[in-house]
């Protein structure tokens, strides 16, 4: 079950194509899955980037960011994941808005693709803006180009597109008078915050895909709770997308750093061969 | 071995640096003189305790009368030399040099205008595999590149970043290597060759492809690397890191202590955070001459001491046979009641070579009064008696054992004893012996990072042991346990009452400590427990090394 | 050896040997050690085999109690277990977690004046179930021929497992959809290891799988498939909803989102399901507070508090709004908590949680209450004492003040009738307003007990069987006696 049929890496972002036919046939843009590499892993929420109902495969872009994603990063084609649960979360609200700007960075470049595709299919003009530190870090570009009217780049070293970040590109567009009717952002928390601040003065409805720590993903624990407009919401059932102008970013950052101690302690007794040993035990 | 240049002559010559007259002795380089005189010259590839190569060019200075600029790390000082180290032109050149070096090192965060805010949120660094910027680099807090960018005021790098795209090297035990961050300063190679004479690594390939690697690009564990991590400790970037202790960020405290795992007694600085031992590293001061430590002290301490199975609470066996946890006082009473039923000839004490001098002295004093000096050690299945009058002969009369190293007692050794009725254990982890139904009490002891004291090492060196973290649960130092039992048994001849009295007695009876057998450098155990049992990377290292070479050296 | 009634009356109730508090509040092993066979026989001999058999009516699934106890007295332990299983699919579970003192043991003749002197029915049930399992004496029950109907069960908690167990034996093809990666529902994520060893749950589920029940883990109905899809696309003939009431309730006070404030669900799921108490071997991290405050007075609050003390908390305080007698938790669990040196602050409720500059909880401010006029349920209502507050330090707050219906299923099945609190409305047999859709357990009643969920499952299984086969099966006669045809019974 949940066999890994394709795997590649670009700068810590690991493309994992997994066989999960039931999820592939029912997942919608904006939804995510929760995966565990093995019995000892944490439950990790990952946005689904693509899915194929014929092959039954779903494509995930997993950013290596800790011990459980490290073990996922070290998996090889042919291995099986222990858990792939989904689809989870409320799907994106796709309407004919007019002109939609989609900004993303890091793992969001792959994650925003299904939303861009759906927006295009709903008749919107799609402007995709992607950022990375260096131009060699971009991925999934061909697919994004295929569903966007325009793809704009932002790099920290200026090697492709504008020298800067997504909010600089959007800020520039808005200053020039480009009309944007709706914005979606996906990326790290600081990026989401800065981009939301860029659209705020122009009162553009902005949705951000939040990356709270999650445990079950079905709304039964409250680990992923965020404050949006003063109300407490669960990112796994009410989200993962929320109004970017109302999110309490400080609280989100604090809650996301609740486990820094455990996250670094766990490496003390880690050994990469542990995975191989564990597999052996499972087979016995 | 690297040696700081021996100054046989007193500094007799003079030269001028930045208008200041300074004296030097022949053989010193301009850099040596400048450092000694408190004048800062930025360097990347030079280090006080390694031979210089002049490859990074950052230390260039202007020598009057010489065309161009010279590297101060390789240029010998000559009498009446006039040197300028910090003109505008030199600073500009240095920035240019650093820019070029950084053009092949992920520099985005180094010159990012919002770096400070970002790092406030991402503290500590994100735990990724491939470093693409400071906010995911394990070296962030001590990186020499960052320090140089600050010092030189470098705000912008005019070159697009060229990623060398070397594969990550994460398949060795203990060490992660990302040569995409390497600036080819060669310090790691020099320290491996000079300090250890191992030459496990060297520059390999050539031209633009040059990188640091092992012969035939094998894994370090399959070569002759001993994972001492000296290369990691001299690397100015995050290219080399210790996997088990790279992600905790700024420690809460950094405390020097002495490693007790073998007779070398290497000085280590222990990082603690969240009240736990998180990592160990050498003193970072550049002027320290010789460093020497091994994989055990450098990499294994956190996993060895933080394992959740640590004994935390005193336990005794009730009349009905069940083991129950209890308070110290009742546990000590329980044990002293049992001990008082036996005559000293029936009591034997197993001490441990891995205890501090104070704990060893306390056990010796206990043995002297309550066990007829029946004290012994076990070293690699060999039984050692510090008192020459004692031998295996005593074992047939022993009925009760007081053990500070229970895991060293194998079934074969137990056979030598006549009829053991009771066993008292003070230890740090459960051992197979602690499950025996003869055990009447188990006391939780501290490890060396959780107590103060001293330890005597080879060559008569006596060094301090400093407490850096709190022990788990109710564990107390071994000497504390022995003192309590000894005092509960109430002999007026038992002379030690507390830490101070033990230290005084050691001064009066140094033979007690000097008769303790030493732990050889290549030992694989701590207090009878194989380090491999607690540190999986260590297990991999020694298994593979023993398989390929048949022997293991640290 | 036949004992006279007088001799039976003379036997004192056998307590089960338990781990001493000082030892047990450090480990996750079960607290009561269980009976030895001799103790079980001696306890069984205390039963007077009364004619009235009140105990059976006290049991929500009407286990034939005097009969199985008589078998125990004759040392026929495995047979006793099998007899229990005709009515109760999970005796190893119920023997451990049922509140017998308010059910069968409450009405036991021997416990009339003092329930602690009743026959230890729960202990005996646990004993025979453990004996059967540990000695590999479990028999495969008889299964009728396949009848061609397919039933989907949503949720592998106690009620879902009961429905599955009943229907598979009647020849249905049963598929359980479970959202987590392990089955058991509250048995695996809610009740800690030291009260409900997980290997027992695994074995019970394994037994069901051996009978042919299919379990699909990691399948969240409401997202993966909607309830209607189960009929229209996957071809099921009936659907049973047993998803529980897992939506956590947070006290809406300032500071509720500080680091260190958890719902009991999250805390227990990390510890029980993800085995964080074995960190770092199991990688899911857990915050281990030194001074833990647990809000609530139910079994979940006791479980949270006892888990906290085992994980190494220096001090654990239970804060409950009402008085001790009103605590809904089992008396035995409250007693265990007290033995483990957990403190109780009764007639108190927090009004604010304090935090430090880095967003971590540091303490709380509580309002004091006193008991006032009784409310509709007859319990004295707690009334806040004006301007009476107190503060205390805590670095972790566990909110176990109840659960609500998770809207995942109800919101994606818009034509299913729910009440104003989000629970599914059903008739006495578990039928919802949608044809061939049934529900039972906490999703109907709100948070309740394992055994009542099992009783609901039993009734629903009967209704499913009736509706699908248009016949009634004798063996499925559920508690209450009355069938829809107005059958006579008892």
User: pLDDT tens digit string along B190-231?
Assistant: 999 887 888 999 999 998 899 999 999 999 998 899 999 999
The residue among C403, C427, C446 that closes a domain is C403
- Cα–Cα distance for residue pair B41/B61, rounded to 1 Å: 9
- Cα–Cα distance for residue pair A229/C13, rounded to 1 Å: 59
Q: What is the mean pLDDT of residues C194-223?
A: 92
Considering the domain architecture, whether residues C91 and C194 belong to the same structural domain is answered as no
- Cα–Cα distance for residue pair C348/C295, rounded to 1 Å: 9
Please, which pLDDT band fits residue C332 given cuts at 50, 70 and 90?
confident
> Is residue B423 in some structural domain?
yes
Considering the domain architecture, whether residues B279 and B296 belong to the same structural domain is answered as yes
> Is residue C142 in some structural domain?
no
Q: Which residue in A has a C-alpha nearest to residue B534's C-alpha?
A: A269
pLDDT at position B287: 47
> Is residue B540 in some structural domain?
no
* Residue B514: CB atoms within 10 Å: 11
For the A92-206 domain, the top CATH level (class) is alpha beta
Assess contact for C122 and C50: CB atoms under 8 A: no
Question: Can you name the CATH fold of A210-262?
Answer: Dihydroorotate dehydrogenase B (pyrk subunit); domain 3 (2.10.240)
The chain B residues in contact with chain C (CB within 8 A) are: 308, 312-313, 322-326
> For residue B527, what is the DSSP state?
T
Assess contact for B439 and B425: CB atoms under 8 A: yes
Considering the domain architecture, whether residues C113 and C257 belong to the same structural domain is answered as no
Considering the domain architecture, whether residues C348 and C393 belong to the same structural domain is answered as yes
Higher pLDDT, C261 or C484: C261
Count of alpha carbons within 13 angstroms of residue C34, beta-carbon side: 19
> Is residue C257 in some structural domain?
yes
- Cα–Cα distance for residue pair B301/B317, rounded to 1 Å: 32
pLDDT at position B291: 64
> Is residue B336 in some structural domain?
yes
Q: Do domains A4-89 and A92-206 have the same CATH topology?
A: no
- Cα–Cα distance for residue pair C252/C446, rounded to 1 Å: 20
Distance from CA of A144 to the nearest CA of B (A): 23
Residues on chain B touching A189 (C-beta within 8 angstroms): 121
- Cα–Cα distance for residue pair C252/C352, rounded to 1 Å: 9
Q: What is the mean pLDDT of residues C16-32?
A: 71
> Is residue B143 in some structural domain?
yes
Considering the domain architecture, whether residues B238 and B175 belong to the same structural domain is answered as yes
- Neighbouring subunits of A (3+ Cβ pairs under 8 A): B, C
Assess contact for A90 and A241: CB atoms under 8 A: yes
Pairing of strands B400-403, B240-242: unpaired
Using alpha carbons, list the distances in angstroms from residue C348 to A109, B340, C344, C399: 50, 52, 10, 14
Please, which pLDDT band fits residue C490 given cuts at 50, 70 and 90?
very low
Residue span of the structural domain in which B273 resides: 132-306
pLDDT at position C364: 96
> Is residue C92 in some structural domain?
yes
Q: Which residue ranges make up each domain of chain A?
A: 4-89, 92-206, 210-262
Superfamily of domain A4-89: Translation factors (2.40.30.10)
A156: contact with B, CB 8 A cutoff: yes
Using alpha carbons, list the distances in angstroms from residue C85 to A257, B184, C62, C399, C485: 49, 73, 11, 36, 26
Please name the helix (run of DSSP H) or strand (run of DSSP E) that holds residue B276, with its range, or none.
strand B276-281
Question: Which of B129, B158, B159 to probe by mutation at the A interface, max A CB count within 10 Å?
Answer: B129
For residue range B354-372, list pLDDT tens digits in order: 999 999 999 999 999 999 9
The residue among C364, C384, C403 that closes a domain is C403
Q: Provide the token pair at B328.
A: 């110290």
A190: contact with B, CB 8 A cutoff: yes
Considering the domain architecture, whether residues B44 and B152 belong to the same structural domain is answered as no
> For residue A210, what is the DSSP state?
-
pLDDT at position C475: 60
- Cα–Cα distance for residue pair B452/C168, rounded to 1 Å: 66
Q: How many domains does chain B have?
A: 3
> Nearest CA to C294 among C268, C316, C276?
C316
Q: Which of A41, A88, A220 sits opposite C406 (nearest CB)?
A: A220
Please, which pLDDT band fits residue B124 given cuts at 50, 70 and 90?
confident
Count of alpha carbons within 13 angstroms of residue A73, beta-carbon side: 23
Q: Which residue in A has a C-alpha nearest to residue C218's C-alpha?
A: A85
CB contact under 8 A, C22 and B326: yes
Q: How many beta-carbon contacts under 8 Å exist across B and C?
A: 15
> Nearest CA to C464 among C162, C155, C167, C161?
C167
- Cα–Cα distance for residue pair C409/C318, rounded to 1 Å: 33
- CATH code at position B265: 3.30.70.20
pLDDT at position B435: 84
> Is residue C34 in some structural domain?
yes
- Cα–Cα distance for residue pair C138/C204, rounded to 1 Å: 10
Q: Which of B124, B170, B273 sits opposite A272 (nearest CB)?
A: B170
Using alpha carbons, list the distances in angstroms from residue A164 to A192, B543, C386: 15, 50, 58
What is the rounded average pLDDT for all residues in chain C? 89
Question: Which of A259, A270, A271 to probe by mutation at the B interface, max B CB count within 10 Å?
Answer: A271
pLDDT at position C469: 82
What is the rounded average pLDDT for all residues in chain A? 92
- Cα–Cα distance for residue pair A57/A13, rounded to 1 Å: 18
For residue range C53-81, list pLDDT tens digits in order: 889 988 888 899 999 999 999 999 999 99
Query: pTM of the entire structure?
Result: 0.90
> Nearest CA to B134 among B278, B144, A110, B279?
B144
DSSP bridge pairs for A227? A232
- Cα–Cα distance for residue pair A170/A34, rounded to 1 Å: 32
Considering the domain architecture, whether residues B395 and B471 belong to the same structural domain is answered as yes
Please, which pLDDT band fits residue B299 given cuts at 50, 70 and 90?
very high
Contacts by B451-455, CB closer than 8 A, 24 or more apart: B451/B356, B451/B477, B452/B499, B453/B356, B453/B357, B453/B358, B453/B359, B453/B477, B453/B479, B453/B499, B454/B356, B454/B357, B454/B358, B454/B503, B455/B258, B455/B260, B455/B265, B455/B356, B455/B357
CB contact under 8 A, C247 and A266: no
- CATH code at position C97: 1.10.1060.10
> Is residue C352 in some structural domain?
yes
- Cα–Cα distance for residue pair C137/B235, rounded to 1 Å: 65
Distance from CA of B535 to the nearest CA of A (A): 6
For residue range B63-94, list pLDDT tens digits in order: 999 999 999 999 999 999 999 999 999 999 99
Residues on chain A touching B173 (C-beta within 8 angstroms): 271
Using alpha carbons, list the distances in angstroms from residue B345 to B201, B341, B388, B406, C197: 57, 12, 16, 21, 48
Considering the domain architecture, whether residues B365 and B470 belong to the same structural domain is answered as yes
- Cα–Cα distance for residue pair C203/C129, rounded to 1 Å: 12
Q: Which of B308, B312, B325 sits opposite C23 (nearest CB)?
A: B325
Considering the domain architecture, whether residues C34 and C125 belong to the same structural domain is answered as yes
> Is residue C213 in some structural domain?
yes
* Residue B328: CB atoms within 10 Å: 16
The residue among B306, B337, B371 that closes a domain is B306
Considering the domain architecture, whether residues B293 and B410 belong to the same structural domain is answered as no
Q: In the predicted model, is pLDDT for residue B123 greater than 80?
A: no
Please, which pLDDT band fits residue C484 given cuts at 50, 70 and 90?
very low
Alpha helices in A88-246 (DSSP H): 108-111, 113-121, 141-147, 166-176, 189-199
The residue among B287, B306, B325 that closes a domain is B306
Backbone angles phi, psi at C300, to 5 degrees: -65, -40
Q: Provide the token pair at B127.
A: 């735990």
C280 prior amide bond cis, ω within 30: yes
Considering the domain architecture, whether residues C271 and C371 belong to the same structural domain is answered as yes
Q: In the predicted model, is pLDDT for residue C471 greater than 60?
A: no
pLDDT at position C489: 37
CB contact under 8 A, C262 and A222: yes
- Cα–Cα distance for residue pair C176/B155, rounded to 1 Å: 62
Q: How far is CA A46 from the centre of its chain?
A: 6
E strands of chain A, at which residues?
A: 4-10, 13-19, 32-36, 44-52, 57-63, 83-88, 99-105, 125-132, 150-155, 162-163, 182-186, 206-209, 225-228, 231-234, 241-243
> Is residue B105 in some structural domain?
no
Residue numbers of chain A with a pLDDT score lower than 70:
273-284
Percent of residues, chain B, with pLDDT higher than 70: 97
Q: What is the mean pLDDT of residues B426-446?
A: 93
In this structure, of B283-292, B441-450, C49-58, C392-401, the range with the lowest mean pLDDT score is B283-292
Backbone angles phi, psi at C353, to 5 degrees: -110, 130
Considering the domain architecture, whether residues B332 and B466 belong to the same structural domain is answered as yes
CB contact under 8 A, C22 and B308: no
pLDDT at position C149: 92
Q: Which of B126, B161, B173 sits opposite A65 (nearest CB)?
A: B126
What is the rounded average pLDDT for all residues in chain B? 90
Q: Provide the token pair at B524.
A: 């694989």
Considering the domain architecture, whether residues C239 and C106 belong to the same structural domain is answered as no
Q: In the predicted model, is pLDDT for residue B145 greater than 80?
A: yes
Q: Which of A9, A158, A253 sits opposite B160 (nearest CB)?
A: A158
Three state DSSP letters for chain C: CCCCHHHHHHCCCCCCCECCHHHHCCCCCCCECCCCHHHHHHHHCCCCCCCCCHHHHHCCCCCCHHHHHHHHHCCCHHHHHHHHHCCCCCHHHHHHHCCHHHCCCCCCHHHCCCHHHCCCHHHHHHHHHHHHHHCCCCCCCCCCCCCCCEEEEECCCHHHHHHHHHHHHCCCEEEEECCCCCCCCHHHHCCCCCCCCHHHHHHHHHHHHHHCCEEECCCCECCCECHHHHHHCCCCCEEEECCCCCEECCCCCCCCCCECEEEHHHHHHHHHHCCHHHCCCCCCCCCCCCEEEEECCCHHHHHHHHHHHHCCCCEEEEECCCCHHHCCCCHHHHHHHHHCCCEEECCEEEEEEEECCCCEEEEEEEEEEEEEEECCCCCEEEEEEEEEEEEEECCEEEECCCEECCHHHHHHCCCCCECCCCCECCCCCCECCCCCEEECCHHHHCCCCHHHHHHHHHHHHHHHHHHHHCCCCHHHCCCCCCCCCCCCCC
Percent of residues, chain C, with pLDDT higher than 90: 57
Considering the domain architecture, whether residues B255 and B182 belong to the same structural domain is answered as yes
Q: What angle do CA B457, B461, B467 make, to 5 degrees?
A: 70
> How does B39-67 read in b/e, with b if 16+ C-beta sit within 10 Å?
bebbbbbbbbbbebbbbbbbbbbbbeeee
Tokens 């161009």 belong to B68
Q: Which of A41, A82, A258 sits opposite C287 (nearest CB)?
A: A258
The residue among C107, C134, C161 that closes a domain is C134
Secondary structure class of A246 (helix, strand, coil): coil
- CATH code at position B482: 3.40.50.740
CB contact under 8 A, A221 and C218: no
Count of alpha carbons within 13 angstroms of residue B230, beta-carbon side: 30
Q: Provide the token pair at C3.
A: 């004992």
> Nearest CA to B295 among B370, B342, B244, B360?
B244
Q: How many domains does chain C have?
A: 3
Q: Provide the token pair at B463.
A: 């060094």
Residue span of the structural domain in which C335 resides: 249-403
Q: What is the mean pLDDT of residues C422-442?
A: 94
Considering the domain architecture, whether residues C316 and C235 belong to the same structural domain is answered as no
Residues on chain B touching A257 (C-beta within 8 angstroms): 123
Residues on chain C touching A68 (C-beta within 8 angstroms): 283
Considering the domain architecture, whether residues B336 and B232 belong to the same structural domain is answered as no
- CATH code at position C232: 3.50.50.60
């Amino acid at each position: 079950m949940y066999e890994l049929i394709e795997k590649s890496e670009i700068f810590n972002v690991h493309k994992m194509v997994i066989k999960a036919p039931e999820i592939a046939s029912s997942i919608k843009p904006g939804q995510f899955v929760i995966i565990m590499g093995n019995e000892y892993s944490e439950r990790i929420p990952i946005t689904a980037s693509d899915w194929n109902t014929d092959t039954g495969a779903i494509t995930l872009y997993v950013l290596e960011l800790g011990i459980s994603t490290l073990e996922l990063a070290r998996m090889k084609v042919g291995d099986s994941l222990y858990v792939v649960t989904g689809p989870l979360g409320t799907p994106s609200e796709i309407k004919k808005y007019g002109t939609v700007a989609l900004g993303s960075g890091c793992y969001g470049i792959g994650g925003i693709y299904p939303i861009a595709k759906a927006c295009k299919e709903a008749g919107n003009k799609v402007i995709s803006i992607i950022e990375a530190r260096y131009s060699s870090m971009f991925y999934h570009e061909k697919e994004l180009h295929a569903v966007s009217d325009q793809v704009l780049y932002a790099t920290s070293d200026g090697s492709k597109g504008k020298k800067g970040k997504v909010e600089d590109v959007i800020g520039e567009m808005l200053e020039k008078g480009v009309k944007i009717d709706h914005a979606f952002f996906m990326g790290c928390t600081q990026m989401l915050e800065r981009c939301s601040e860029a659209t705020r003065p122009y009162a553009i409805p902005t949705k951000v895909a939040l990356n709270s720590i999650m445990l079950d993903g079905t709304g039964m624990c409250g680990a992923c709770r965020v404050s949006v407009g003063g109300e407490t919401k669960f990112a796994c059932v009410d989200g993962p997308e929320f109004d970017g102008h109302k999110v309490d970013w400080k609280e989100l950052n604090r809650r996301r750093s609740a486990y820094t101690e455990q996250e670094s302690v766990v490496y003390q007794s880690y050994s990469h061969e542990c995975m191989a040993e564990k597999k052996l035990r499972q087979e016995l | 071995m690297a040696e700081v240049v021996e100054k046989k002559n007193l500094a007799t010559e003079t030269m001028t640096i930045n208008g200041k007259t300074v004296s030097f002795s022949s053989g010193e380089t301009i850099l040596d003189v400048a450092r000694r005189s408190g004048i800062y010259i930025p360097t990347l590839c030079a280090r006080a305790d390694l031979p210089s190569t002049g490859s990074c060019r950052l230390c260039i200075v202007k020598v009057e009368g010489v065309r161009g600029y010279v590297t101060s790390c390789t240029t010998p000082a000559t009498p009446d030399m006039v040197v300028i180290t910090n003109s505008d032109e030199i600073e500009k050149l240095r920035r240019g040099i650093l820019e070029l070096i950084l053009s092949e090192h992920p520099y985005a965060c180094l010159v990012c205008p919002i770096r400070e805010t970002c790092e406030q949120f991402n503290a500590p660094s994100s735990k990724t595999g491939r470093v693409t910027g400071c906010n995911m680099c394990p070296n962030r807090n001590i990186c020499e590149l960052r320090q140089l960018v600050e010092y030189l005021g470098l705000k912008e790098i005019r070159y697009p970043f060229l990623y060398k795209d070397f594969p990550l090297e994460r398949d060795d035990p203990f060490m992660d290597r990302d040569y995409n961050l390497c600036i080819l300063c060669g310090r790691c190679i020099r320290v491996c060759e000079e300090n250890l004479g191992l030459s496990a690594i060297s520059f390999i390939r050539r031209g633009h492809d040059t990188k640091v690697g092992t012969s035939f690009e094998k894994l370090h564990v399959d070569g002759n690397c001993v994972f001492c991590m000296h290369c990691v400790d001299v690397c100015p970037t995050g290219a080399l890191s210790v996997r088990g202790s790279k992600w905790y960020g700024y420690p809460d405290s950094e405390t020097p202590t002495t490693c007790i795992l073998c007779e070398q007694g290497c000085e280590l600085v222990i990082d603690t955070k969240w009240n736990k031992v998180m990592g160990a590293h050498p003193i970072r001061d550049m002027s320290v001459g010789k460093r020497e430590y091994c994989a055990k002290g450098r990499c294994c301490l956190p996993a060895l001491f933080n394992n959740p199975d640590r004994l935390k609470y005193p336990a005794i066996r009730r009349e009905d046979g069940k083991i129950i946890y209890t308070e110290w006082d009742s546990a000590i009473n329980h044990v002293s009641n049992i001990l008082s039923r036996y005559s000293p000839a029936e009591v034997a004490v197993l001490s441990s070579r891995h205890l501090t001098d104070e704990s060893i002295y306390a056990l010796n004093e206990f043995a002297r009064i309550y066990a007829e000096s029946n004290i012994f050690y076990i070293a690699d299945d060999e039984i050692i008696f510090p008192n020459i009058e004692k031998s295996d002969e005593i074992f047939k009369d022993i009925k009760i054992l007081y053990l500070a190293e229970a895991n060293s007692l194998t079934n074969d050794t137990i056979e030598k004893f006549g009829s053991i009725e009771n066993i008292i254990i003070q230890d740090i982890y459960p051992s197979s012996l602690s499950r025996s139904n003869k055990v009447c009490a188990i006391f939780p002891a501290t490890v060396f990072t959780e107590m103060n004291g001293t330890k005597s090492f080879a060559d008569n060196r006596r060094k301090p042991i400093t407490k850096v973290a709190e022990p788990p649960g109710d564990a107390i130092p071994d000497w504390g346990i022995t003192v309590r039992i000894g005092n509960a048994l109430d002999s007026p001849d038992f002379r030690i009452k507390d830490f101070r009295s033990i230290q005084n007695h050691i001064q009066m009876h140094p033979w007690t400590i000097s008769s303790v057998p030493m732990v050889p450098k290549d030992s694989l155990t701590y207090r009878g427990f194989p380090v491999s049992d607690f540190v999986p990377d260590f297990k991999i290292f020694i298994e593979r090394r023993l398989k390929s070479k048949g022997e293991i050296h640290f | 050896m036949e004992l006279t009634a007088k001799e039976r009356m003379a036997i004192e109730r056998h307590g089960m040997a338990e781990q001493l508090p000082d030892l047990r509040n450090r480990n996750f092993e079960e607290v009561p050690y269980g009976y030895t066979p001799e103790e079980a026989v001696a306890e069984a001999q205390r039963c007077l085999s009364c004619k009235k058999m009140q105990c059976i009516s006290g049991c929500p699934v009407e286990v034939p109690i005097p009969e199985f106890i008589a078998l125990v007295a004759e040392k026929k332990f495995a047979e006793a277990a099998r007899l229990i299983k005709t009515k109760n699919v999970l005796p190893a579970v119920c023997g451990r977690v049922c509140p017998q003192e308010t059910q069968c043991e409450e009405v036991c003749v021997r416990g009339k004046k003092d329930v602690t002197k009743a026959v230890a029915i729960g202990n005996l049930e646990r004993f025979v179930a453990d004996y059967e399992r540990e000695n590999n004496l479990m028999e495969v029950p008889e299964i009728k021929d396949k009848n061609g109907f397919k039933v989907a069960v949503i949720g592998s908690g106690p009620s879902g497992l009961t429905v599955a167990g009943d229907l598979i034996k009647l020849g249905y093809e049963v598929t359980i959809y479970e959202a987590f990666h392990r089955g058991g529902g509250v048995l695996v994520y809610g009740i800690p290891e030291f009260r409900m060893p997980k290997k027992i749950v695994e074995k019970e589920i394994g037994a069901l799988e051996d009978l042919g029940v299919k379990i699909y883990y990691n399948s969240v109905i409401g997202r993966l498939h909607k309830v209607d899809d189960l009929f229209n696309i996957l071809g099921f003939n009936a659907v049973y909803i047993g998803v529980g009431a897992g939506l956590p309730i947070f006290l809406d006070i300032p500071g509720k989102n500080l680091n260190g404030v958890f719902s009991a669900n999250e805390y227990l799921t990390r510890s029980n399901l993800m085995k964080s108490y074995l960190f770092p071997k199991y990688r899911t991290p857990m915050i281990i507070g030194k001074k833990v405050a647990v809000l609530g007075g139910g079994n979940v609050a006791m479980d949270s508090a006892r888990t906290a003390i085992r994980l190494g908390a220096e001090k654990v305080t239970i804060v409950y709004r009402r008085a001790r007698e009103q605590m809904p938790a089992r008396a035995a669990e409250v007693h265990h908590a007290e033995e483990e040196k957990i403190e109780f602050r009764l007639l108190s409720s927090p009004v604010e949680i304090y935090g430090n500059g880095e967003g971590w909880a540091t303490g709380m401010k509580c309002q004091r209450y006193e008991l006032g006029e009784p409310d509709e349920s007859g319990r004295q209502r707690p009334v806040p004492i004006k301007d009476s507050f107190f503060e205390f330090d805590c670095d972790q707050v566990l909110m176990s003040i109840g659960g609500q219906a998770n809207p995942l299923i109800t919101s994606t099945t818009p034509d299913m009738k729910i009440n104003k609190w989000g629970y599914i409305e059903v008739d006495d047999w578990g039928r919802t307003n949608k044809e061939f859709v049934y529900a039972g357990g906490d999703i109907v009643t709100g948070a309740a007990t394992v055994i009542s969920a099992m009783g609901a499952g039993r009734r629903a299984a009967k209704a499913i069987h009736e509706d699908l086969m248009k016949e009634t099966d004798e063996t499925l006669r559920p508690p209450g006696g009355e069938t829809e045809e107005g059958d006579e019974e008892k």
